[in-house]
Amino acid sequence: MTRPAPRAIQALALLWTILFASVAGIPTAQSQTLQGTSPVTAEIRFFGVGGHVRPGDLAGIQVELTDAGSGKASRRVLVQLHQRDVDGDELLAQRETTLTVGVARSLWLYMWMPWSTSSTTDLTLSVRELSQTESAGLPGVGEPLLAKRVRPAQVNSMLAPMIGVVGREDAALSQYRLEDRNRQGSPPTVWHEAYDIVGGLEPRWLPDQWMGLAPFETIVWTDGDPDDLTEGRDEALIEWVQRGGHLVIVPPVVGSNWFAPRSPLASIMPTVGVTRLENRSLEPYRNILTVPEVAAERAMPDNTVIYSFAPQDNALPNDAIPLFTGPDGCIVVRRVIGTGMVTVIGLDVRNRRLTTSGLLAAEALWHPILGKRFDILTPEQQQKYQGRLFAVSSVGAQVVDAFIGDKIAKTGAAGVGVLLALVVFVAYWLLAGPGGYALLKARGIVRHAWVAFVATVAVFAAIAWTGAKAISPTHFEATHMTFLDQVYAEGVQKTRTYASCLLPIYGEATLTVGEPGLDQDYTQCLMPWAEQGSGSLLSFPDARAYAWNIAQPQRITVPARSTIKQLRLEWMGGPRSMDAKGGSARWGNIRPLTDVDAPRQNLAMTGEGLGPNRPITGKLVHEMAAPLRNVKIIYCAGIKREELLAIAKDRLRCEAYVWEFDREWNAGDANALDLANLATPDASLERFFSKASPTITGLPGDSRVKNDEEMFVSFFNAAEPFDYHRDGSRIARLIRRECQRLDLSQWLTMPCLIVMGEMEDATPRPMGSPTPLLYGSGDNPRQLPTSGTTWVRWIYPMPARPVYLAGTKVEPLPEDRPADPTTPPTKPAPNFR
């Protein structure tokens, strides 16, 4: 089937644009600015949460509207943010609201920010008045009231992960910025990427849908009342966690209501009892608060307040996971929610003696909780090693997620079309030009040249039309690259899909993510997307506007020209399983195999170490639609012991191991994977990355990682850092553009088993992707046939093994305590709303 490439189509579009513009004077773009005084004013409060946006990701834009009045007590309006997409069409991210005279009204809009976004990027914010009968679904509806140019205030680097801090105190997270302050815009000094710390946030500044929080990998809450999460902000934060976010909470020393049943976030807090302890010294916790280089001889604060946590009797294993235990009991506890987690720190890490004196070290406190791996250098160390670090950062980097565009490209048949056009043109030129004339002259019938020319034109016109018709697309289909994540016993799956959708019609096409009537507890989202570097000044001659209603972000109606539309889809819902016919049923998952003689069989380690005599026990089966290839199993035994943490430096803070398989893993109980046969691991995770890390190419431009992309995407923060201790380090700088929120390194801070595998499907079919993508409007949309690649990432939380700090009375958990029964307790996909 013909699959025209978007760039080839755009090239033809440019030719048509020039032709029509010269003949009819048709403009290629339009803009409008309303003149005069409008009764409605609109101001941007936040362009991005906290005023920060990252190119290539979603952003939330808060607009504040005021109606000064003009004889109306209330006014129904449509607020729109205009953005030109890669095809030259105008996307309208819009939301409807009702204004009351004299009362300020705020609302949030959401939009995918193009890669070219900068602080000089102009967008148009418009407000239109709707009558009582007008629908907000169509572009151009309503009476214009206001249009103004707006710009983002702070555009972060597309390469920088974002960490949000709710509260004035960042508890040493600012040390993660890692920039060399002597060189503006320089890359990080010791790690592959710099972090953007968006601090000073207030609860009331957070958005009302999870899409506004999408750029953040972690949100740390150090100050602020959770009761201020009103108007949907609590639901947005909860769903952000379910979709893989990590919320870290530091309760206040006085007046904490985090664990109160009425708290807006009570449904995702660890299921623990809380004991408040006064007049406690932080000395026993030195090794998880500071590093010897900073505070070898300095005393830690005393007379502080500490919170101790103990699991409640009704807590499931995923609901109360101790991470650190000291003389006062468990002081860091975690709960797994969906594919994300909530961690509560019981130490007062906002204590001014810690923060103002420089005692608190991010690599001691945050590395073992967030899953980071790099050294934070003192100013003296930065000066000492800057020559070596500059040598690494001044050459081209290796891009770990450059494969996404290639995975969904639809260019094969476009090449056939170009070749056909070239052959037809050359043949036409020869016969209608010198070749035909020479033939007529040889036969002495040059007088019939015009007749022959007209006949040749007619014949080749018919050939061109027939060939174009033969290779033109006739069916809706899509090529996808999907990341499928699931945590065992959590009852939900989460996907992110990049798709090139072939729309073989002219006019409009409606696309929807999610199936009607299912998974309605979650806000699904699909948005226009483009690969980095694919922006173009070319546009179709019939460029037009289309609307994306924020009230229904799971659906969009786009212009269709028998070409490709690229989308990014975010879906979450119940586990999906295929029926025997591979039809409209739902996708499956991975699960432990029930043993008839041991119905509560679970996965477990038979000892603290690894080796042939201490294997993982249990069997796994999968119910996916196709065999899993390139299977890797990663076992994390938990955070290293306290004495090892103190000297870890740029080493991994966890004990983790990797097994690799060179055979396919087929679905069904008969093909169960017996983990007891794994024996000795192929490598530690640290050794794996030491061997797999790409080396410096010496070239100035960026190149792409060509091997083990799935490992670098999934465990980017566990990759090998720069070796700044010696000259001649060959570790290349790694960067990622798309996949900051797909990193699983936070799971390397607790015992767990992670299974990763790849599925390929070359034949388009309904439900070919785990992300349900439908086309067509009305009540009966159809499944869009898809083909492509799915990366499966399944996580099984193992029995807790907290780090016992010095002076702690150790009461280890029984070896046979199940992380979860093989048949999980009745726990449907949670409805937190």
505/523 same-domain check: yes
Please indicate, yes or no, whether residues 352 and 221 belong to a single structural domain of this protein.
yes
Q: Are residues 376 and 421 in the same domain?
A: no
Give the CATH number, domain containing residue 275: 3.40.50
* 671 in any annotated domain: no
**Do residues 563 and 542 touch, judged by C-beta distance below 8 A?**
no
Helix axis angle, 434-443 to 412-432, nearest 10°: 40
803 in any annotated domain: no
**What is the reported pLDDT for 356?**
84
pLDDT value of position 473: 64
In a domain, 181, yes or no: yes
Asked if residue 623 is part of any domain, the answer here is: no
| 421/341 same-domain check | no
Let me know whether 494 and 521 are in one domain: yes
**pLDDT tens digits for 18-47?**
333 333 333 323 333 444 578 899 999 999
Of the candidates 510, 493, 533, 577, which has an alpha carbon nearest to the alpha carbon of residue 793?
Answer: 493
| Per-residue pLDDT, 3 | 41
Amino acid at 488: Y
Point out the residues of the chain with pLDDT beneath 50. 1-35, 180-187, 414, 578-585, 596-601, 610-612, 812-833
Query: Number of structural domains, the chain?
Result: 4
Give backbone dihedrals phi and psi of 476, rounded to 5 degrees, phi first.
Answer: -70, 135
Please tell me whether residues 133 and 187 are part of one structural domain: no
Is residue 624 situated within a structural domain?
Answer: no
247's CB contacts (< 8 A; 6+ apart) are 218, 219, 221, 237, 240, 241, 268, 340, 341, 342, 343
Which stretch of DSSP H or E encloses residue 743? none
Token representation of residue 802: 């907290």
Residues 422, 503: one domain? no
320 in any annotated domain = yes
Is the domain of 300 the same as that of 315? yes
> How long is the chain?
833
In a shared domain, residues 202 and 305: yes
Last residue of a domain, one of 373, 398, 423: 398
Q: Where a domain ends, among 398, 424, 444?
A: 398
Q: Which structure tokens are listed for 53?
A: 């946006």
CATH number of the domain within which 129 lies = 2.60.40.150
Domain termination site, one of 468, 496, 512: 468
CA dihedral 594, 270, 59, 93 (to 10 degrees): 70
Residues 423 and 389 in one domain: no
DSSP 8-state assignment for residue 231: T
Structural domain harbouring 421: 412-468
Distance CA 94, CA 125 (A): 10
Q: Residue 204 domain-assigned?
A: yes
**Torsion from C-alpha of 15, 17, 21, 25, nearest 10 degrees:** 170
Residues 423 and 387 in one domain: no
Structure tokens at 147: 């249009």
What are the Cα distances from residue 582, in Å, to 171, 478, 517, 579, 766? 51, 17, 21, 5, 8
pLDDT score, position 650: 65
CA proximity to 57, closest of 653, 599, 742: 742
Instruction: Decide: helix, strand or coil at residue 353.
Output: helix
Token digits for 721? 């850092």
> What is the pLDDT at residue 515?
86
Task: Give the model confidence (pLDDT) of 137-175 as tens digits.
Answer: 777 788 999 999 999 999 998 989 999 999 999 999 999
- CB 200 within 8 Å of CB 224: no
List the one residue out of 548, 269, 255, 564 whose CA is nearest residue 405.
Answer: 564
Of 784, 785, 786, 814, nearest in space to 799 by CA: 814
E strands in 677-781: 683-684, 703-704, 734-735, 752-765, 773-775
Per-residue pLDDT at 245: 97
What are the strands, taking DSSP E only, across 464-618? Answer: 477-487, 493-513, 525-528, 545-549, 555-573, 590-592, 604-605, 616-617
Q: Are strands 216-221 and 493-513 parallel, antiparallel or unpaired?
A: unpaired
Both 308 and 223 in a single domain? yes
pLDDT of amino acid 451: 77
Whether residue 722 lies inside any domain: the answer is: no
